[in-house]
Amino acid sequence: MAKHGAARDDRRPNVGELRTVRGKSDGVTMSARADALDRLIHERLRLGIVSALAVNDSLSFSDLKKLMKTTDGNLSVHARKLEEAEYITCTKSFEGRMPKTEYRLTPSGRRALERYLDHMEAIIRATRER
Amino acid sequence: MASVRPLHRVPPTEPPALHARAMDNLRFIRDTMEAAGAFTAVSGWGMVAVGVIATVAATIASAQHSVLRSIFVWMAAAVLAPCVMMWAIVRKARRAHVPLLSGPGRKFVLSFSPPMFVGALLTIVLYRAGLVAAIPGMWLLLYGTAVVAGGAFSVRIVPVMGICFMLAGTLAIFTPTSWNDWIMAIAFGGLHIAFGVFIARRHGG
């Protein structure tokens, strides 16, 4: 059950939800905006991963770990969630004898980040207009 | 049946923290991007132009009859080349809509400048001490140091170029003074042109 709950929590917003929020600039409530949030990248570490990859062609697992100041386990769990959502891709290779894991942002991941940025800006704009 | 009225009407407003959290999230994204980003405005074509200036300077310097005169030729090139490079960097940054002095750009400048400043001071010191022949090696070493330090915040090839300059500087210090113009030509001319072409092709100009 707990697993099911977690999966629901991390769901991607459907297009309809986002259109509803964007379509009504005045009438829409802030809670509706919050509901339509992409919860998958709303989580801090995942948002950090996506943001870091947005300004780099690729980043290795160790680069991301240093950047996010997190543990191996935590990073791999969150990276796996982004990978499952096809927001990032993961390539495993060997550099000499050392295994190397590299992450890249997919076009869908970049769009998700752009949507998320639009969303945050919309929330701030709506608050200022009120 | 009487209607039920709530004791306190729930205000139809959202939690006040939402706006602040949105600001905080945007700040977090910007900070992460700045920390993760590389200074990509280093202009490859600017480097090629600097390399051409250095090659011309090397040709003129080699025709001079004294080390001091050839040093003055190089100093003239050292004034012209940064101006050309700055112009190329600003142009590339504007074209790519990359901020110049925030995040990686600021770190690049802060790391690159101190060795260059030290190089300028040591030029005066060595000139006064009559150690003019040591100036080219010192220039190459400190320029290489500056490029390695600044390059830590740029694309990976930039610090590699810095190491090549440091090697050239080491060579210039331990070889006869008559080799200096050649080493300067190969380093400031050849390395800038070779790495510049690579950066321009690989990193968009």
C-alpha A53: how far from its chain's center? 11
First to last CA, chain A: 40
Contacts of A44 in chain B (CB under 8 A): 28
Beta-ladder partners of A59: A103
Q: Do B33 and A59 touch (CB under 8 A)?
A: no
Can you tell me whether residue B136 is helix, strand or coil?
A: helix
Q: Is the pLDDT score of B17 beyond 80?
A: no
Instruction: Tell me: ipTM over 0.85.
Output: no
The one-character DSSP state at B15 is P
What is the C-alpha separation between A30 and A129, in angstroms, rounded? Answer: 12
Q: Is the pLDDT score of A69 beyond 80?
A: yes
Beta-ladder partners of A42: none
Give the residue-averaged pLDDT of A78-88: 94
What is the C-alpha separation between B189 and B50, in angstroms, rounded? Answer: 7
Give the residue-averaged pLDDT of B152-172: 91
CATH number at residue A125: 1.10.10.10
The domain tally of chain A equals 1
**Domain boundaries in chain B?**
39-202
Q: How crowded is residue B188: how many other Cβ atoms within 10 Å of its Cβ?
A: 27
* Disruptive mutation site among A21, A28, A30 for chain B (greatest number of B CBs within 10 Å): A30
pLDDT at B16: 56
Instruction: Please name the residue that has the structure tokens 């200036």.
Output: B53
Instruction: Please name the residue that has the structure tokens 């101006």.
Output: B83
Provide the mean pLDDT of chain B. 85
What is the C-alpha separation between B130 and B80, in angstroms, rounded? Answer: 25
Instruction: Please name the residue that has the structure tokens 């096809």.
Output: A86
What is the C-alpha separation between A76 and A59, in angstroms, rounded? Answer: 13
Phi-psi category of residue A124: left, alpha or beta, with phi > 0 → left and psi -120 to 50 → alpha:
alpha
pLDDT at A13: 45
Reported confidence tier of residue A5, pLDDT bands at 50, 70, 90: very low
* Disruptive mutation site among A110, A124, A128, A129 for chain B (greatest number of B CBs within 10 Å): A124
Contacts of A117 in chain B (CB under 8 A): 26, 29
**Chain B neighbours among A 13-32 (CB < 8 Å)?**
29-31
Q: Dihedral through CA B164, CA B135, CA B80, CA B103, nearest 10?
A: 50
Give the residue-averaged pLDDT of B145-161: 89
Cβ-Cβ contacts under 8 Å for A83 (sequence gap 6 or more):
A89, A90
For A101, the domain range is 2-129
